[in-house]
Amino acid sequence: MTDAPPSTLLADQTAYAEAVQLALDAAAAYYGDGTSTLDDDAYDRLVRGIEAYEDEHPEEVLPTSPTGKVAGGAVVGDVPHAVPMLSLDNVFGAGQLADWAASLERRLGRPVAAWSVEPKLDGLAISARYRHGRLVRLVTRGDGAAGEDVSHAIGTVVGLPSRLAEPVTVELRGEVLMTASQFEEACAKRRAHDGTTFANPRSAAAGTLRAQDRPYVCELTFFGYGALPYPDDVSETAEWLRGLPHSEVMAWVAGQGVQTTAATSVAGIVAETLEGVRERVEEIAAVRPELPFGIDGIVIKCDLAGDQAQAGFSSRAPRWAVAYKLPATEKITKLVGVEWNTGRTGVIAPRAVLEPVELDGSVVTYATLHNASDIARRGLMLGDSVTVYKAGDVIPRVEAPVVHLRTGDERPIEIPKVCPTCGDAIDASQERWRCVRGRACRTIASIGYAAGRDQLDIEGLAENRILQLLNAGLIADFADLFFLTREQVLGLERMGETSTDNLLAAIERAKAQPLSRVFCALGVRGTGRSMSRRIARHFGSMDAIRAADAGAIEAVEGIGPKKSPAVVAELAELAPLIDKLVAAGVTMTEPGWTPPAAPVVTVVTGVDGGDGGEAPATSGDASGLPLAGMSVVVTGSMSGALESLTRNQMNELIERAGGRSSSGVSAKTSLLVAGEKAGSKRAKAESLGVRIVGPEEFAGLVGPFL
């Protein structure tokens, strides 16, 4: 079985020669200052096309071809490597992985004893040379035989200590990259300096590592992936290292105080079978969107030193290791337009219109932009080549312009002077602009959100029905729904007695929804389902929430000092709507909960209206409840008594039972509820020693609250 990754088709010798030069130029730019005319995926496709042409026309292979060469043959260094720093061959998919493993085992004449499986970090390979435990030199990979001395970067790389725990002479190899937070900080420094920004973390790291004359310093991060003694070192430590399995080498590296991926959710493991390798590949790929640093694949290698020695090397790569490439999550395309839309709360948000580009299995035409200030910070212009990525592997977003690809034809993005929906004025006093009419600008969307399944759950209130009610003058906001009469609804077109009675019954049931859902229905900016539940649990009643000042709101976990004043201001703005809800008899308390007499510190999860993350908190009194003080994660398909519950209903159940719901497993997680196909979260929980229960056992724990 083989997988067939896409490649650039080359029609003739001229196209082949042009492709070779393009690949060489792109590699030289990337390994030179971190810029390139091609993104990773486009470069990989181009090289595969060159390889395919050379396989069919071996007599036409050019000496400058990037195939079979480290760094595509584009880099020449001046500091020799005692042991060559080679590239890795690639596989694309489970079929090619199986073919590669079978070929390796045929070469060995036996099965591989153990496989090491680690993330392939998206950065630059580096050699860190230590003498008697002290860091003395940093050298890039270069062409594999020699690299560039970048020792000037010593002291700016997190995870690479100036001294090891032991006074050993050794060469550490690893990857230098920028984490997401380091990239944001680097972009801010560059904008302040010259008004431009970096295209992506990879190019930012490449340029930063080599820069010596910048007036500002950008921090980098190192992750070690190997260690080897100098060839002439005959010490006991050197001989011991040479014979260690790779997994034990990495444990020793971490023990020296060097950062490795061991403390991350993509820590390297040893698998005894290829099936175990494939399972770990799937687990790493699944958590890729949550990582604070980039990976573009998974490295699979023989763990035992004896297997590695027997397999040997080709001219450019070890035969005992391979890179399993993952689909690209970042591409370069053109920004052809910007659309401005008004959301249900009146927030005015821009949307990028792109030249269609395939990104991680789907064609992307639109991407999220944050606000006018963000457009200015990123220095975006119409016609720019821009880097596009998928946030959380779902939502496409524009990261930055690729400044070195500008032609001079780019144009400024026109910023609206009035609301694009209703034409009224814009309130630009905050970073997120808003129509001065607020929710009234998008009344249908606001009412539809309030009536949604996870808020008031008013079945039968579709958008066309809301429009009927608005056009008839029967409602102006969702609170007016509770004052509708049977005669009024019957008078609407296509509303018979049965449909009228069903709708009014659904509205009546909505009055009994708990405070958390009512608060969520208000749509306060910066809050969502999780935050609404936390606010309701903390205060216990709408009266207490409305009486709270910014300091009191800030005490709710995950809100913080920046968001709390905005929440207070918006609650004041919503006062007439809340008053109508009170008059209609809508529930304004959280059943079974009262505000705490004093703050109770617990481990909690979720910030900014989401369902993930962890933060210290105060909450209502949950003592005596089965999940009191516990952080609970749910994964996989539920069964039995939990089978019909949505994930939001599961979160509500956890919180009724005194716990805190979270979407991510960490050392602070108390309990994982693992259903069928639990996947990577179960594996991580097992590695951290987190208690794991099935749906049936969990249902027994929280039975009275179901």
In order of their start, the domains of the chain are: 13-73 (1.10.287), 79-325 (3.30.470.30), 330-434 (2.40.50.140), 437-510 (1.10.150.20), 622-706 (3.40.50.10190)
Q: pLDDT at residue 145 above 50?
A: yes
Could you tell me how many residues make up the chain? 706
**What's the pLDDT at 176?**
96
When pLDDT is cut at 50, 70 and 90, the band that residue 332 belongs to is confident
In 468-537, the DSSP E strands lie at none
Helix%, strand%, coil% for the chain, nearest 5 = 40, 20, 40
**What's the pLDDT at 596?**
47
**What's the pLDDT at 115?**
96
Residue 148 CA to residue 176 CA, distance in Å, equals 14
Q: What is the mean pLDDT of residues 386-401?
A: 74
Residue 490 CA to residue 500 CA, distance in Å, equals 6
Identity (one letter) of the amino acid at 548? A
Q: Of 6-15, 35-44, 264-273, which one has max mean pLDDT?
A: 264-273
**Interstrand relation of 220-228 and 385-391 (parallel, antiparallel or unpaired):** unpaired
Number of neighbouring beta carbons within 10 Å of residue 376: 12
**Interstrand relation of 146-147 and 79-80 (parallel, antiparallel or unpaired):** antiparallel
DSSP state letters, 118-155 = EEEESSEEEEEEEETTEEEEEEE-TTSSEE-B-GGGTT
Three-class SS state of 402: coil
Tally helices (H) and strands (E) across the chain: 23, 25
Number of neighbouring beta carbons within 10 Å of residue 644: 8
Smallest CA-to-CA distance from 183 within 34, 335, 22 is with 34
Task: Please state which of the ranges 64-73, 320-329, 497-506 shows the lowest mean pLDDT.
Answer: 64-73
User: To the nearest whole number, what is the mean pLDDT of the chain?
Assistant: 85
Smallest CA-to-CA distance from 89 within 120, 131, 57, 128 is with 120
Q: pLDDT at residue 515 above 50?
A: yes
Q: pLDDT at residue 229 above 60?
A: yes
When pLDDT is cut at 50, 70 and 90, the band that residue 30 belongs to is low
**What's the pLDDT at 506?**
95
Instruction: Say if residues 584 and 521 touch (Cβ distance below 8 Å).
Output: no
Owner of token pair 């100098």: 230
Number of neighbouring beta carbons within 10 Å of residue 652: 21
The 8-class DSSP code of residue 313 comes to B
Residue 106 CA to residue 447 CA, distance in Å, equals 66
Residue 179 CA to residue 271 CA, distance in Å, equals 28
**What's the pLDDT at 129?**
95
Residue 658 CA to residue 627 CA, distance in Å, equals 5
Number of neighbouring beta carbons within 10 Å of residue 88: 18
Burial class (CB in 10 A: 0-12, 13-18, 19+), 423: exposed
Instruction: Say if residues 123 and 175 touch (Cβ distance below 8 Å).
Output: yes
Is 668 part of the annotated catalytic residue set? Answer: no
How far, in Å, are 223, 260, 454, 655 from residue 532 at the CA level?
Answer: 39, 38, 11, 12
Three-class SS state of 106: helix
**What's the pLDDT at 394?**
56
When pLDDT is cut at 50, 70 and 90, the band that residue 355 belongs to is very high
Smallest CA-to-CA distance from 390 within 288, 493, 280 is with 288
When pLDDT is cut at 50, 70 and 90, the band that residue 587 belongs to is very high
**What's the pLDDT at 203?**
80
Cβ-based neighbours of 643, under 8 Å, separated by 6 or more = 695
DSSP state letters, 483-503 = G--HHHHHTSTT--HHHHHHH
When pLDDT is cut at 50, 70 and 90, the band that residue 5 belongs to is low
Point out the catalytic residue in the list 69, 120, 681, 684. Answer: 120
Residue 370 CA to residue 348 CA, distance in Å, equals 9
Instruction: Say if residues 39 and 136 touch (Cβ distance below 8 Å).
Output: no
**What's the pLDDT at 68?**
62
Bin 640: left if φ > 0, else alpha if -120 < ψ < 50, else beta. left
Residue 392 CA to residue 354 CA, distance in Å, equals 19
Q: What is the mean pLDDT of residues 114-133?
A: 94
Q: What is the 3-state secondary structure (H, E, C) of 166-232?
A: CCCCEEEEEEEECCHHHHHHHHHHHHHHHCCCCCCHHHHHHHHHHCCCCCCCCCEEEEEEEEECCCC
Q: What is the mean pLDDT of residues 615-637?
A: 70
Tell me the pLDDT tens digit for each residue of 549-585: 999 999 888 788 888 898 998 899 899 999 999 999 9
Residue 445 CA to residue 427 CA, distance in Å, equals 20
Residue 283 CA to residue 300 CA, distance in Å, equals 14
Cα end-to-end distance, the chain, whole Å = 48
Q: pLDDT at residue 393 above 80?
A: no
Of 483 and 46, the one with more pLDDT: 483
Owner of token pair 């003058």: 473
Residue 172 CA to residue 174 CA, distance in Å, equals 7
Give the largest Cα separation in the chain, rounded.
Answer: 96
Q: pLDDT at residue 134 above 80?
A: yes
Q: Where are the alpha helices (DSSP H) in 414-490?
A: 443-450, 463-471, 486-490
Q: pLDDT at residue 404 above 80?
A: no
**Sign, Cα dihedral of 25, 30, 32, 35:** positive
Instruction: Say if residues 297 and 697 touch (Cβ distance below 8 Å).
Output: no
Residue 522 CA to residue 188 CA, distance in Å, equals 35
Three-class SS state of 235: coil
**What's the pLDDT at 324?**
94
